[in-house]
Chain A
Amino acid sequence: MRAAVLGVLLGAAIAPAAWGAAQDFDEVQRGRYLATIGDCTACHTAPGGKLMAGGRSIETPFGNIVSPNITPDRETGIGAWTDDQFYASMHDGTSADGDNLYPAMPYPHFTKVTRDDVMAIRAWLNTLEPVVNRVEANQLPFPFNIRAAMIGWNELFFTPGVWQDDPKKSAEWNRGGYLVEGLAHCGACHSAKNMLGADESGGHLQGYALQGWFAPAITSGDGVGLDKWTEDDIVEYLKTGTNRFATAAGPMAEAVSDSTQHISIADLRAMAAYLKDQRGPSGDKRKPMDAKDPVMRAGEAIYVDKCAACHTMNGEGIARLFPTLSASPTVEAENPLSVLHVILNGTRAVQTRLAPTAPAMPAFSWELTDAQVAAVATYVRNAWGNAAPAVTAGDVSSARKTLEARRE
């Protein structure tokens, strides 16, 4: 509390005109809530660091970018930025000096946010403790370190523009779309990307591999993605981190912990209504592998020995504790990376206020060979009505390499 007051006083003494009535309680609290939906802290607060003081490495396929300091410090933060400059950073992806930002800052999503909402976020940021922390954001290797390259990237892939309501849809659907496509930037992880890291056309919200995980499709279509989920299931998942189909782990655990568990039920309902209306690819009629296949039999034997004690013999798991493996978008995802990640490295479920247990699954990488992991992964992807491509020992071997490289 003391830090916030200090921020206000320092800022106000130096640049009162720029802020006007922005210190209004309602405005600041609205901004704080919106910043939570945007999960600004995920990138702009370093582990153990001061709130929004930057310095966290953001992994991109092209190298690491270090998040800038967005506290109101005038020298090393954004305290000296005008409101227009701040809005431009969100809406156009440009920095105060006119340089282009890299789309690790999800401005292709934030461009959809209204100026009112952006100003509320700024009002809240202005109340934070100004932290002196000079960050060299651009630590990309050549040629990606040339910011001017982003001019071309924007030409190709970026269309600035605030979200436009679809008059044919309900107000709730439109609110959901505004959040999902804008501040919540779900597509930053869940939409397929091209070689240059831009959203692939036709891959919108249909799943993408990043940071050693596969963010599954959150569209609905033919039994994949969120097809079996109701809107209530989506709300429960985002609010508590777990539901009858899935438990958040990996990067999604962080998103739930920092962001979605704090979003109001009304907004979560709106997001769910919008997501349930997003259709995925159709005609994907996968057939489960034959249970008598030798790999399936081997996988079943390993499953019974190693997995069934928690996940139960029929793969249903235990609600709020051991995720179900039948009817799980992650288990059935085309790309098995998340399944392999969890089997090899283990993982801990997200802890939320409403689901504090945060159970963890131990690592099996030391205990199972590539062929054994492949067999059990293939089995869980094709048992109990699941159907997904078989996993090979080669897939496991390359997943091991990916995960080991990430550990170094």
Chain B
Amino acid sequence: MARKLPATDVVIVGLGWTGSILAHELTEAGLNVVAIERGPWRDTSSDFPVTYAQDELRYHIRHELFLRPAQETLTFRHNARQTALPMRTWGTFMPPNGVGGGGVHWNAETWRFLESDFVLKSHLTDRYGAKFLPDDMTIQDWGVTYADLEPHYDQFEYLCGTSGYAGNLAGQKRQGGNPYEGPRSREYPTPPQKQPYGPTLWAKAAVESGFQPFPQPSGNLSQAYTNPLGVTLGPCTYCGYCEWFGCGNYSKASPQTTILPTLLPKENFKAHTLCTVQRINTDGTGKRATGVTYIDSNGEEWEQPADLVLLCAFQLFNVHLLLLSGIGTPYDPNTGEGVIGRNYSYQVTSAVDAFFEDQNFNPFIASGAIGMCIDDFNGDNFDHGSLGFVGGGYIGAVQTNGRPILGTRAPSGTPSWGAEWKKAVAEHYLSTYTTVTHGSCYSYKDCFLDLDPTYTDAYGRKLLRMTFDFHDNEMKMSQYLTDRLADITQKMGPKVMEKHPRTAPYNVNVYQTTHTCGGAVMGDDPKTSAVNRYLQSWDVPNLFVFGATAFPQNAGYNPTNTVGALAFWGAKAIREQYLKNPGPLVQA
């Protein structure tokens, strides 16, 4: 029997990027906020200090900062004909854990989505006709536009101090920036990071090929920056330990380096760590959330009543909690009806390895988000009419790391261990360069999340089940992008080049990205979306769901900037509309 705590105005499930942003915005509005975080407290100087932050074995190989599968995992199958099995170690994606969430260990690539990405279905239908899209593709418009989100992209970038160069300043195109991006209301808060040799060489090749390369926007800062909350970040040292790692010297934007210092001292904010929310409670009507029930590290069960419940957990686990709590209608792939678990999508990445004879790229001079990219093959920036697929991604030379364990590449055919392997690694470590594509992943009728009928978690709850595989459209796209990437990379003059387009079936054992998306998507129609354009549950108006959970499909970019912008967008709606008149912000 849960012990009941005093009621609070707002309870937030998960204290990562979105939880921190919402907690900040709503405590500023004077509300009492309680955040409940499944993982531990995390602080720079005690959890990833400069003295040992750069430990690949500890953080990357042994997954120190990530969720323990024994605490929570999910089952996986490629299609509904298979029986799903539990993931007992992480592979293809890395669910975050602890205060700061994925914001602690991201690469900090801070992209905005294209204007057309937010109206994808209408845009593609208008341009190519409805029949151009595969029958089972379930893409849709977001219900928000780029123009709606622009001020909030700006807010998130200025919170983070993002380093970049605007290619479109209030409609004015600028040489050196991304010519395809939507208009920005102002320049990036800090200039781009310095580019190492590899991206510089690739950018030259891109220009020779007739493209307009630009520096990737980075949340690893080019210079010291004090954000609007008064919190100061330092300049990146190009150590190359970003994704999988916490930043030891305060130069990567994270909740710890941007928000938490001002949030934690607030009298109207409280956080419980190592507490796992079991379910969202609703009243007898099922139309009103009454709070959440959680279990602490001592096994004690607590009920936290609240007027407003904000789901800010990692994408997969937001969906899990909605399903466990019986909120909204679960998606049924046979009928296409129901919304919880619908439109699960991912990201389609690929690479080209180029082996040189007479180059030294110093791959260890790196940051998770330095690089030179082109956007000519992203979204619908190019004519898909004759290509037989939709979607795309940015491609470029992104120098994220040259770490000693996994940053060792050798040409195919090299033995994977032993003297020959050592010799090949020594020969190729400095002279190998990998370029990448970061492609979209659209949503399909047969890609979804639901509850597993067999397997349960440590608390006896049904595990989340993922049913997902890559579709032909995405594989064609990946092949096309990888070829275009190789065309440019070839101009750098490698001796040998190997293309690695993404291929089906989806391999859950190999890391690709942690960009899992959808499952409780936003939209204008309650039949095809779980939340409205303000991230408010159609079924339970005092419940909002944040994160990439809301993406109806994924674009050809890293998601965090859009996740951050949506958090500020939702916070504004709560502050300016919901609090004045609690109830549905959009009439179904």
A residues with a Cβ closer than 8 A to B are 306, 309-310, 318-322, 346, 348, 351, 354-364, 367
Which residues of chain B come closer than 8 Å to A322, judged between CB atoms? 234, 249
| A361 contact set on B, CB distance < 8 A | 45
Contacts of B44 in A (CB 8 A): 359-360
Q: Which chain A residue shows the least CB distance to B44?
A: A360
Q: A318-B234, A364-B51, A367-B51 are in contact. Are A310 and B249 (CB under 8 A)?
A: yes
A321 near B265: Cβ-Cβ < 8 Å: no
Inter-subunit contact B249/A356 (CB<8 Å): no
Residues of chain A with a CB closer than 8 A to B224's CB: 318-321
Q: Which of B45, B232, B235 has a CB less than 8 Å from the CB of A360?
A: B45
Chain B residues with CB under 8 Å of chain A are 43-46, 49-51, 224, 226, 229-235, 237, 239, 248-250, 261-262, 265
Q: Which of A321, A348, A354 contacts B230 (CB 8 A)?
A: A354
Residue from B51, B250, B262 in contact with A356 in the complex, judged by beta carbons closer than 8 Å: B262
- Nearest chain B CB to A46 CB, angstrom units: 20
Residues of A near B45 (CB, < 8 A) are 346, 348, 359-362
Closest to A322 in B: B234
CB closest residue in chain B, given A319: B224
Kindly name the residue among B51, B235, B248 whose own CB sees the greatest number of chain A CB atoms within 10 A.
Answer: B51
Task: Say yes or no: B51 contacts A362, CB within 8 Å.
Answer: yes
Select which of B49, B235, B239, B261 is within 8 A of A357 by beta carbon.
Answer: B261
Q: How far is the CB of A302 from chain B (nearest CB, A)?
A: 12
Q: Is the beta-carbon distance between B230 and A355 smaller than 8 angstroms? A: yes
Give min CB distance, B42 to chain A, whole Å.
13
Q: How far is the CA of A268 from the CA of B240 in the complex (A)?
A: 44
Report 23 cross-chain contacts, Cβ distance below 8 Å, ordered by A residue.
A306-B51, A309-B50, A309-B239, A309-B248, A318-B232, A319-B224, A321-B224, A321-B233, A321-B234, A322-B234, A346-B45, A354-B230, A356-B229, A356-B231, A356-B262, A356-B265, A357-B230, A357-B231, A357-B261, A359-B44, A362-B49, A362-B248, A364-B51
Q: How far is the CB of A340 from chain B (nearest CB, A)?
A: 17
- Collect the chain A residues with CB atoms within 8 Å of residue B249's CB: 309-310, 322
- The docked-state distance in angstroms from the alpha carbon of A355 to that of B46 is 21
The 5 closest A-B pairs by CB, nearest first: A362-B49, A360-B45, A320-B232, A309-B237, A357-B232
Min distance, Cβ B365 to any Cβ of chain A, angstroms: 13
**Residue numbers in A under 8 Å from B248 (CB-CB):** 309, 362
Residue from the list A318, A348, A354, A356 in contact with B235, Cβ < 8 A:
A318
Provide the bound-state CA to CA distance between A309 and B248, in Å. 10
- What residue of chain A has the Cβ atom nearest to residue B45's Cβ? A360
Decide: A356 near B234, CB < 8 A? Known: A309-B249, A320-B226, A321-B224.
no
CA distance A348 to B226 in the complex (A): 18
> What distance in Å separates the Cβ of A1 from its nearest Cβ neighbour in chain B?
13
Closest-CB distance, A29 to chain B (whole angstroms)? 21
CA distance A351 to B231 in the complex (A): 10
Interface of chain A, helix or strand or loop or mixed? loop
Nearest opposing residue in chain B for A358, CB measure: B261
> Is B231 a contact of A310 with CB atoms below 8 Å?
no
Write the nearest CB–CB distance from B582 to chain A, whole angstroms.
Answer: 28
Complex formed: what's the CA distance from A363 to B231 in Å? 23
Q: Which residues of B contact A360 (CB under 8 A)?
A: 43-46
What A residues does B43 contact at CB under 8 A?
Answer: 360
How far is it, in angstroms, between the C-alpha of A319 and the C-alpha of B249 when the chains are bound?
14
Rounded to whole angstroms, the CA-CA distance of A310 and B239 in the bound complex is 12
Please give, as numbers and ranges, the residues of chain A lying within 8 Å of B231 by CB-CB distance.
356-357
Which of B237, B250, B262, B265 has a CB less than 8 Å from the CB of A359?
B250
**B248 to A: closest C-beta gap in Å:** 8
A346 proximity list for chain B (CB < 8 A): 45, 49
Q: How far is the CA of A306 from the CA of B248 in the complex (A)?
A: 12
With contacts A321-B250, A346-B45, A361-B45 known, is A356 near B261, CB below 8 A? yes
B265 touches A351 (CB 8 A): yes
Cα distance A111–B86 when bound, in Å? 73
Residues of A within 8 A of B226 (CB): 320
Q: Which residues of B contact A318 (CB under 8 A)?
A: 224, 232, 234-235
Interface centre among B44, B232, B233, B237, by most A CB within 10 Å? B232
Which chain B positions have C-beta within 8 A of A321?
A: 224, 232-234, 250
- In the bound complex, CA of A366 to CA of B253 (Å): 28
Q: A309-B248, A310-B250, A359-B250 are in contact. List 15 more A-B contacts (CB 8 A).
A: A309-B239, A309-B249, A310-B234, A310-B249, A319-B224, A321-B250, A356-B231, A356-B262, A356-B265, A357-B230, A359-B44, A359-B232, A360-B44, A362-B50, A363-B51
Considering the complex, give the chain A residue whose CB is closest to the CB of B233: A321
Complex alpha-carbon distance, A355 and B261, angstroms: 10
Q: Which residue of A321, A354, A360, A364 has the most chain B CB atoms within 10 A of its CB atom? A: A321
Question: Please, which residues of chain B bring their CB within 8 A of the CB of A367?
Answer: 51
| B232 CB contacts on chain A under 8 angstroms | 318-321, 355, 357, 359
Inter-chain contacts of A351 with B (CB < 8 A)? 261, 265
Q: How far is the CA of A359 from the CA of B256 in the complex (A)?
A: 10
CA distance A362 to B53 in the complex (A): 11
Which residues of A sit under 8 angstroms from B250, Cβ to Cβ? 310, 321, 357, 359
Give B238's nearest chain A residue, CB to CB.
A309
Taken together as a complex, chains A and B put the C-alpha atoms of A335 and B96 apart, in Å, by 45
The interface residues of chain B lying within 8 Å CB-to-CB of A359 are 44-45, 232, 250
Chain A residue at minimal CB-CB distance from B236: A309
The distance from the CB of A308 to the nearest CB of chain B, in whole angstroms, is 9
How far does the alpha carbon of A3 sit from the alpha carbon of B46 in the complex, in Å? 38
In the complex, which residues of chain B have a beta carbon less than 8 angstroms from the beta carbon of A362?
45-46, 49-51, 248
- With both beta carbons as reference points, the residue of chain B lying nearest to A353 in the complex is identified as B230
A356 to B43, CA, bound (A): 15
**Chain B, residue nearest A360 (CB):** B45
**Chain A residues near B49 (CB, 8 Å)?**
346, 362
> With the chains together, A322 CA to B237 CA distance in Å?
14
Neighbouring B residues of A319 by C-beta, 8 Å: 224, 232
- Closest chain-B Cβ to A207's Cβ sits at a distance in Å of 27
Which residues of the partner chain B approach A364 to less than 8 Å between Cβ atoms?
51
Q: Which residues of A contact B261 (CB under 8 A)?
A: 351, 356-358
Q: Once the chains are docked, how many angstroms separate the CA of A367 from the CA of B233? A: 26
Inter-chain CA distance A318–B235, complex, in Å, is: 8
Cα-based distance from A358 to B43 in the complex (angstroms): 11
| A288 and B239 alpha carbons, distance in the complex (Å) | 32
CA distance A357 to B226 in the complex (A): 9
A19–B231 Cα distance when bound, in Å, is: 45
In whole angstroms, what is the CA distance A322 to B248 when docked? 12
Which chain A residues lie closer than 8 Å to B265 at the CB level?
351, 356
Bound complex: CA A79 to CA B233 (Å) = 48
Q: Which of A357, A360, A361 gathers most chain B CB within 10 Å? A: A357
> What is the CA–CA distance of A356 and B262 in the complex, to the nearest angstrom?
6
Q: How far is the CA of A351 from the CA of B262 in the complex (A)?
A: 9
Docked CA distance A337–B165 (Å)? 46
Taken together as a complex, chains A and B put the C-alpha atoms of A355 and B231 apart, in Å, by 7
CA A298 – CA B50 in complex, angstroms?
20
Cα(A319)–Cα(B572), bound, Å: 33
* Most B-side CB within 10 Å, residue of A348, A360, A362, A364: A362
Minimum distance in angstroms from A3 CB to a CB of chain B: 15
* Chain A positions within 8 Å of B262 at CB level: 356
B144 CB to nearest chain A CB (Å) = 31
Residue of B nearest to A346 (CB): B45
Question: Which residues does chain A contribute within 8 Å of B46, judged by CB atoms?
Answer: 360, 362
In the complex, how many angstroms separate the beta carbon of B20 from the nearest chain A beta carbon?
A: 14
Min C-beta distance of B405 to chain A, whole Å: 21
Chain B residues whose C-beta falls within 8 Å of the C-beta of A358 in the assembled complex: 261
Shortest C-beta distance, A5 to chain B (Å), equals 19
**What A residues does B237 contact at CB under 8 A?**
309
